[in-house]
Chains A and B, each alone.
Chain A
């Protein structure tokens, strides 16, 4: 009994206590176009931080993780799809340019506006998440979005990083699949 209380205190209460102090501020929208679920998501509470990082010349890499769960009543929700889209900004302070790189598509672009570079990282517009045909219209699904931020050009792939970096929760949105549209698309 005592050990249970100790473990609970140490391993459960502490992380929740930390999580409670960082309430995420985000905006997530989902829309379906031509049988594809798109997601528009933007984080606000990371803007100042990211602007500060890239403004001081440090590269910044973000990963947007979209994961669709099938909602189940008596068991844990089942992960159906999970995609991860990366973006990166590499500042050049001497020329005052910021290189914006889409790690998923390979698109590279320079900008001389730091805020544009910041928005490039904090916003993900029209991200294709999943094809509706993969989903069952009779089921309920939720889309969970997470933002992983890393300072530097490469992602920290150490095992403890994957263990400890749980990302910033961008919220969960319920997917309402229109049956007719779904069938028509198919």
Chain B
């Protein structure tokens, strides 16, 4: 199919040039030859017309070749071609037929029988003239042979003898007129037959012709032929000699019958015309052919002109439509075509215009919608971006589920909060929560789903390995079944610290109340016991027992009071009042405080500062030093300042701490001393932690060494928490 299309395209492109070649060949044949017979202008008209046609075809061909890619031009070319062919083909057939008819006609006209007939007719006419001339010759010969003409010299002019002689010759030979000239070509005598209607003009004498002079010169008779207005004559000249001297010249003439001469001349004219036509037979044929060709070319030119005009009128709206379509294709919807007619093309143009207007309106609407959608999309993306950032930075875990439980959204906090395993932490659905510690989440969702609750809130405890997390789970139903989107939003908050804090707070409140309730009666007990001892010591029998008992009561009450004070401190430990404190000043205070203890040494006083509550830190150090001094061994206190923290060491050379006591040494109410409350190290550790530091037992064996390290700077979130 492609080859056929290419062939058709090539044929259409080269067709005008092939036509031009044919026209050139036609011009060659039409060009008039040198021996041309007939009107040459017919050939030149043909040449002119063919050449005009050639120029037109070439221009058309070149334009067609250049614009062959334009479909409209192809259409126009095809229309013109078809219309011209519609005229050209019948004209060609007519031309060929006419040529054949003309050839046949010429063969009939110039038939050999006609030729023979004309030749015979011509011979007949010539024979008639020849017979007359022969008669004249014979007559003149007889005149010569008889020698009976009178002596002219002595005979006077107009003499009866001469007249009678000439009249005799006239009658004898049947001549119409006989004239006698002397040697000087002067008329001497005349004899002629009278005829009807003959006037004086007919008596006029004709001068001697060249034939007469020739007869004089030759000395013999000559025959001449004279054509006059009144007819044709055969004239015979006979010179008369006397003693070899020219004495006269007879001129005898015979008038040819007018009917015969007319017929003979008619035959001659026809013969001449026939021969002329026969000789120029080819030229005449050419004339007919040229005339026909002129008509044909003229018809083709006229047809071509009307074809071009018609094709232009027909294809111009199509071209305009095509151009408008190209503009529309390029995005220009203002391309409207003119409606110049009311026919199908006009209707087509009108439909096109209305279609373009609708298309333009639709396109405008579409553009506006697209703009709105783009803005909405941008806004949505912005919201999504904000939401994603919000969710990413949110401390709560968020899961967005659709109606089928598929996870549409889940932030990282949720993954960390729910302690997703490293392997396979990508969950596509809530039903993929197959891990044991996530069963509670799944159960929570199923409760929400099966009971069709709009919202649900509960506390869950997830245990994964050794880690236990308390979370507050909240679920909310999003949308309804009729909405575009329906699903659930699950939000999880880590409330482990909050629960611990609440628990601590509750316990602290309980302890504080309990201590208060216990502490209140202790003072009256102690005072009463001391009063009893003072008042009734003298009245008792056994003073020792009495003293022992009252002292025991007083001592135990005091111990209970100390115990309650520590307990109260542990429960109501205030928030540290942080400030920058010089390490050396802090140690110097302690050194002065413990100056009475010789076995206590403070090693080194490093420069530098520590950010802490000096009272609480001092309490921790005192607690540690007191425990160390209780061993009665040598105690060393020294400080190490690093880039990140400050480390306070308290070391004693005592017996050390048992392995069994080592594990519980920081637990409240654990003490190795009989009168210890067991809260000192617990409080010390808590103060260290409140300062974002740590209290560690570095060495339980002798020498026993505790280390409290405090960071140089406060963590950022601590300040935020404070704020």
CA distance A168 to B34 in the complex (A): 9
- Check A95–B275 contact: CB distance below 8 A: no
Q: A93-B126, A94-B125, A95-B129 are in contact. Are A164 and B272 (CB under 8 A)?
A: no
- Check B129–A18 contact: CB distance below 8 A: no
Interface residue A96 (Cβ < 8 Å from any Cβ of B):
yes
Stretch of A50-58, A125-133, A137-145 on the interface side: A50-58
Tell me the nearest residue of chain B to A56, going by C-beta.
Answer: B275
Interface residue A161 (Cβ < 8 Å from any Cβ of B):
yes
Tell me the nearest residue of chain A to B58, going by C-beta.
Answer: A6
Chain B residues positioned under 8 Å from A52 (CB to CB): 279
State how many residues of chain B have any CB contact under 8 Å with chain A. Answer: 31
Interface residue B122 (Cβ < 8 Å from any Cβ of A):
yes
Interface residue B33 (Cβ < 8 Å from any Cβ of A):
yes
- Check A18–B31 contact: CB distance below 8 A: yes
- Check A22–B126 contact: CB distance below 8 A: no
Chain B residues positioned under 8 Å from A2 (CB to CB): 58, 62
- Check A151–B276 contact: CB distance below 8 A: yes
- Check B271–A18 contact: CB distance below 8 A: no
- Check A161–B40 contact: CB distance below 8 A: yes
- Check A164–B271 contact: CB distance below 8 A: no
- Check A10–B33 contact: CB distance below 8 A: no
Tell me the nearest residue of chain A to B270, going by C-beta.
Answer: A57
Chain A residues positioned under 8 Å from B125 (CB to CB): 94
Contact partner, B272, options A9, A14, A93, A158, Cβ 8 Å = A93
CA distance A91 to B268 in the complex (A): 10
CA distance A155 to B571 in the complex (A): 155
Task: Report which residue of A52, A97, A164 has the largest number of chain B beta carbons within 10 angstroms of its beta carbon.
Answer: A164
CB contact list, B363-415 vs A, under 8 A: none
The 6 closest A-B pairs by CB, nearest first: A56-B275, A57-B272, A95-B225, A93-B268, A94-B264, A160-B41
Chain A residues positioned under 8 Å from B267 (CB to CB): 94
Tell me the nearest residue of chain A to B223, going by C-beta.
Answer: A95
Tell me the nearest residue of chain A to B133, going by C-beta.
Answer: A95
Tell me the nearest residue of chain B to A95, going by C-beta.
Answer: B225
Beyond A9-B24, A160-B44, 10 additional contacts (C-beta under 8 Å) are A14-B27, A49-B35, A53-B279, A56-B272, A56-B279, A57-B268, A57-B271, A94-B264, A158-B41, A160-B40
Tell me the nearest residue of chain A to B41, going by C-beta.
Answer: A160
Task: Report which residue of B34, B51, B275 has the largest number of chain A beta carbons within 10 angstroms of its beta carbon.
Answer: B34
Contact partner, A94, options B51, B54, B268, Cβ 8 Å = B268
CA distance A95 to B127 in the complex (A): 9
B404 to chain A, nearest CB (A): 79
- Check B276–A14 contact: CB distance below 8 A: no
Chain A residues positioned under 8 Å from B34 (CB to CB): 18, 22, 168
Tell me the nearest residue of chain B to A160, going by C-beta.
Answer: B41
- Check A58–B268 contact: CB distance below 8 A: no
CA distance A91 to B275 in the complex (A): 13
CA distance A110 to B265 in the complex (A): 18
As a 0/1 sequence over residues 4 to 45 of chain B, the CB contacts with chain A under 8 angstroms (1 = contact) are 000000000000000000001001100111110100110010
Chain B residues positioned under 8 Å from A96 (CB to CB): 126
Tell me the nearest residue of chain A to B267, going by C-beta.
Answer: A94
